[in-house]
Structure 1
Amino acid sequence: MNDKTDPIEPAAPISAANATMEPVVQPPAASTTVKGGGVMRSSAIFSGMTLLSRLAGFARDVVISAALGASAGPAADAYNTALNFPNLFRRIFAEGAFAAAFVPAYAKTLKTEGEAAADQVATDALAAVAAVTVVLTILAQLTMPWLMTVINIGFLDDPARFKLAVVLTQITMPYLPCMAIASLLSGVLNARGRFIVSGAYPILLNLIMLAAVVPAQGGQVGAAYAASWGVAVAGVAQAGLCWWAARKAGANIRLSMPRLTPAVKAIIITAVPAAIGNSATQINVFISGNLSSFVAGGRTWLATADRLYQLPLGLVGVAIGIALLPRLSAAVASEDRGQQQASMDEATVLSMALTLPATGALMAMPYFLIDALFTRGAFLQVDAVNTAQALFQFGWGVPAFVLIRILAPAFFARGDTRSPMAFALVSVAVNAALAIALFHLGMGVSGIAAAVSAAAWTNALLLGATLWRRGHYRPSASAMSRLLRIGVASLGLAVVVGAASWARPLLQAPVQTVMEALGSGHGAKEIALLLVVAAGGLTYVLLAFLTRAITVAEVKGMIRRAR
């Protein structure tokens, strides 16, 4: 499941909610152009760009949720379907198997054969992926009425929702080839050590969609049309920006007819195992989408919850995973086991230091978060309640989603794509079985979210156990001790924000009084949420220092390396 961006990712189980169109920056393979500085410093670049994108995405989501609602009308579910369908293929062609196979091939050619040879590989790969995704887009648009009867069985009982979903999905499908092109060019930039544009281009989607929705006329349906057209326009803009940046970085990539060159064949062969794994995860999307389509607003509840739990995944898991792969690949190539251990320990501890407190907040105050952020306009209280239930279930899966991003590079750095593929298939089976069972046992949409989290933990545990068994990675005693202390600090945060959520009426009343005295009857719940989040964050920081999960020396070191 993957916002938010709004972004779920190839190695993790995903749900029908994962339709935020938030692209994932492609990892750079080890090359001479990628500068050193450790996992922390490299991740900061990605996290900074991702944070800007997520903030813009959050503003977009708040506006769109207020305009479309969730269960009150067909627009929201149709819109989320329109985002989700091209997302299925994007995970394979734009940010999945093909891109993951292309980036190391390009970086290796760049290092061993020079720029001209590498750019020819990129030119041929670009032609191939563009041709395939354009054909897929045309076929999908022509057959969309029939496809919709398969991917959203529940919509058949609501002709208005069905028809709107068909038309909106036809509008958004051209985003697929645009994003495939942008993602490949982003990989070129990363291999050349240029991270700013590749991390920032997702922001264009959010800004363009906001510009399309804010002035939209025609109520909920009009806003849904505007948002969908915004997606199509944003795809062209993102591809254009990445093309310009790649050319400016010195990459001589050209437009050409597709050719099945030896380099393209090698990329395809390398991509096949991951493609199978990625395609298998789409079974989860199919099942989750069909189950949620039977509940009015179900798709939208999942999508809204997804946007919040994807935030730590996008800011932490993706960024650290991207920074880890080139450093770990170099350590494996040089057989430097000390560096391998240090890289994995640093990535694991850092990721959990940023993820576990987020998990505590998502599980301790899910309704407070959703109600304060999204309940306005056409997004009703009943929508907030159901979304909060899904968010709670996603919350306990967040550490697993991030760990997958940290553990999978340990396989990729050794050229092993088969093991992660096999584990992804196992997690798919877990997800599918649990989603169907929990949905029909009365949990409804929140049962789908619980199944996604359970499948993610299955995947993460299989990855971790295999690395342990093979002797490739076992957390050091120091790392385990730090993780325990981080857990204690995160638990303290959860207790504080959970108590504040329980006492919310008492906390919000004085804020409301102040706002009314200032002449505004709005904003009290948002300000109360900010105060509670600040209190929870302060509690975590204090406990982290008291338990020595974080030390002053380490903070100084981080600042020094960042400079």
Structure 2
Amino acid sequence: MNDNTDPIEPAAPISAANATVEPVVQPPASAATAKPKAGGVARSSAIFSAMTLLSRLAGFARDLVITAALGASAGPAADAYYTALNFPNLFRRIFAEGAFAAAFVPAYAKTLKSEGEAAADKVATDALAAVAAVTVALTLVAQLAMPWLMTVINIGFLDDPARFKLAVILTQITMPYLPCMAIAALLSGVLNARGRFIVSGAYPILLNLIMLAAVIPVKGDQIEAAYAASWAVLVAGVAQAGLCWWAARRAGANIRLSPPKMTPAVKAIIITAVPAAIGNSATQINVFISGNLSSFVDGGRTWLATADRLYQLPLGLVGVAIGIALLPKLSSAVASRDHAQQQASMDEALILSMALTLPAAAALMAMPYFLIDALFTRGAFLQVDAVNTARALLHFGWGVPAFVLIRILAPAFFARGDTRRPMVFALTSVAVNAVLAIGLFNLGMGVAGIAAAVSASAWTNVLLLGATLWRREHYRPSPRAVWRLGRIALASAGLAAVVGAASWARPMLQAPVADLLAMAGSSHGAKEITLLLVVAAGGLAYVALAFLTRAVTMAEVKGLVRRSR
């Protein structure tokens, strides 16, 4: 499935509130031109993750409203809507955030450091013209061919003419989001290279707010709600591109609109991006296979999309954030042949990402049904939908560390200008996913088998990336990093035990909460409040175990706070 989020958020996509733009004074030297400092990945990732957290929270609010309005297996609206989200999202991840980021960000950061702001902004102007031209042309072709494309991407819809027709119309509405998001991704890369992470983490907030404003007024009509949500995607795309343009100009980037030109810089970016695009398309082929298989089950696309929302949370907050912060710093360290900084940046990214990801994965696997039922079962989203979504979430859960590790290991190749090997490894993972997804789906696992295949293919990719970095001596985790990872895993196992026991004892825990609410005159909210209490208890258990096992020390926390300041 998707690697973001949020469906259609950069992270994703995966998928918060009013966008906060950092007041910018044009600096004498950008973050890209300065020598990377210890703790820089953590600090930059913290900024990006804080903004992404706001976006994800609003994304949850958005999804709660949409799943209640559209349901899953109770009608054609939900599956058609998630098709309309996933199709432009597929191309966005291939071009806008995947291949383009891998090729453009190092090129822009290198030019900014070696030739100055004017030359770097010329590269960005030419790249913007090229990516806009390509995505607009792709959008026009897709719009005209959408009825034929839908027969390929959702074979199972052919048996349901109403669902097929609605999916075609809604996807035609959302498809112009692609060029808007491509422009926003380029400008976000400019901001990141200049050390500005607030807007690049915050602009998905607009999508969530606009979709909430569009769907909340719709009452009781699933089809009307699906149309409202789809039109909101298009409006949000224009708003997001506009916000990133404004922020880049405020940051001092002199980027202009111009006709597309095949300049040497653009040619170099394309040459670098093509293998990365093929590699990133591998993940999207996985999405294509998953979507096609799930289209044979009423509600299948919605079950996967809802499970996707939860496992994308740690990926968006951790993997994407650290990967975005890591690439410019690693590129600078590679360019200056600073091997110590390369090792320090990779170790820091690995430890920080796993300290946040392993407990999240443990919780997803220990209490999948509790999470789905408490968050989404209401309105048109039925109990049967919660059960099937939880089965998929369980198998996405053990793949979460792999999804994040890909974001950490791949930049070690991209920073060295190597996009071919990640491409080959990603294509290999596609083959693994295709074989397993088809096999497990037909052997009776259904939609859960699709999720298991996606996780297995992600771990295949991680093993290939990690083994190659090890063999070529580009990166080997230090003994200290391995020591820390073992203790993080131990603390995460403790968290899993706590929340797993709480999930088993849910009726006993939820009953007194319901009684207290009844005394206050309310018959709703017991399962949600119980979930919050269990999550809080699990979080406290993890923190306590992390300090007890010395996976984290107070001195390191104080040092991180000082560096952030």
Match 1:22 to one of 11, 15, 27: 15
Task: Tell me how far apart the structure 1 counterparts of residues 281 and 512 of structure 2 sit (CA, whole Å).
Answer: 52
Letter in 2 for 1:22: S
1:365 CA drift (Å): 0.2
1:432 CA drift (Å): 0.8
1:421/1:191 Cα in 2 relative to 1: closer, same or farther (>3 Å)?
same
1:283 CA drift (Å): 2.1
- Tell me the residue number matched to 2:415: 413
Please list every run of 5 or more consecutive structure 1 residues that lacks an aligned counterpart in the other structure. 11-17, 24-28
- Tell me the residue number matched to 1:287: 289
> Which residues of 2 match residues 265-344 of structure 1 at below 5 A?
265-344=267-346
The reply on whether 1:357 has 2:356 as its aligned counterpart is no
Taking structure 1 as the reference length, the TM-score comes to 0.95
- Tell me the residue number matched to 1:536: 538
- Tell me the residue number matched to 1:347: 349
Task: Tell me how far apart the structure 2 counterparts of residues 347 and 9 of structure 1 sit (CA, whole Å).
Answer: 22
1:118/1:476 Cα in 2 relative to 1: closer, same or farther (>3 Å)?
closer
1:554 CA drift (Å): 1.0
Whether contact under 8 Å (2:67, 2:381) holds in the other structure is yes
Whether contact under 8 Å (2:36, 2:333) holds in the other structure is no
Whether contact under 8 Å (1:512, 1:521) holds in the other structure is yes
* SS of equivalent residue, structure 1 residue 519: coil
1:119 CA drift (Å): 1.9
1:38 CA drift (Å): 2.1
Whether contact under 8 Å (2:94, 2:284) holds in the other structure is no
Task: Tell me how far apart the structure 2 counterparts of residues 326 and 252 of structure 1 sit (CA, whole Å).
Answer: 20
- Tell me the residue number matched to 2:463: 461
Whether contact under 8 Å (1:67, 1:219) holds in the other structure is yes
1:398 CA drift (Å): 0.5
- Tell me the residue number matched to 2:144: 142
* SS of equivalent residue, structure 1 residue 506: helix
Task: Tell me how far apart the structure 1 counterparts of residues 282 and 249 of structure 2 sit (CA, whole Å).
Answer: 36
1:85 CA drift (Å): 0.5
* SS of equivalent residue, structure 1 residue 94: helix
* SS of equivalent residue, structure 1 residue 386: helix
Task: Tell me how far apart the structure 2 counterparts of residues 316 and 47 of structure 1 sit (CA, whole Å).
Answer: 7
Task: Tell me how far apart the structure 2 counterparts of residues 31 and 346 of structure 1 sit (CA, whole Å).
Answer: 19
> Which residues of 2 match residues 385-400 of structure 1 at below 5 A?
385-400=387-402
- Tell me the residue number matched to 2:503: 501
* SS of equivalent residue, structure 1 residue 321: helix
Match 1:78 to one of 80, 97, 102: 80
Whether contact under 8 Å (1:19, 1:303) holds in the other structure is no
Letter in 1 for 2:413: F
1:169 CA drift (Å): 0.3
1:121 CA drift (Å): 1.7
Whether contact under 8 Å (1:3, 1:22) holds in the other structure is no
- Tell me the residue number matched to 2:551: 549
1:110 CA drift (Å): 2.3
Letter in 2 for 1:2: N
The reply on whether 1:384 has 2:377 as its aligned counterpart is no
- Tell me the residue number matched to 1:15: none
Taking structure 2 as the reference length, the TM-score comes to 0.94
- Tell me the residue number matched to 1:5: 5
Whether contact under 8 Å (2:8, 2:86) holds in the other structure is no
> Any idea what the Cα deviations from partners look like across 1:372-403, whole Å, max 9, x if unmatched?
00000000000000000000000000011111
Task: Tell me how far apart the structure 1 counterparts of residues 481 and 179 of structure 2 sit (CA, whole Å).
Answer: 43
- Tell me the residue number matched to 1:14: none
- Tell me the residue number matched to 2:235: 233
1:454 CA drift (Å): 0.1
Task: Tell me how far apart the structure 1 counterparts of residues 337 and 119 of structure 2 sit (CA, whole Å).
Answer: 28
Deviates more, 1:215-224 or 1:545-554: 215-224
The reply on whether 1:374 has 2:376 as its aligned counterpart is yes
* SS of equivalent residue, structure 1 residue 95: helix
Match 1:428 to one of 405, 427, 430: 430
**Matched residues, number:** 551
Task: Tell me how far apart the structure 2 counterparts of residues 451 and 246 of structure 1 sit (CA, whole Å).
Answer: 40
The reply on whether 1:194 has 2:187 as its aligned counterpart is no
Task: Tell me how far apart the structure 2 counterparts of residues 322 and 285 of structure 1 sit (CA, whole Å).
Answer: 23
Q: RMSD value over aligned CA atoms?
A: 1.9
Deviates more, 1:187-196 or 1:204-213: 187-196
* SS of equivalent residue, structure 2 residue 416: coil
Q: Once the two structures are aligned, what percentage of the paired residues are identical?
A: 84
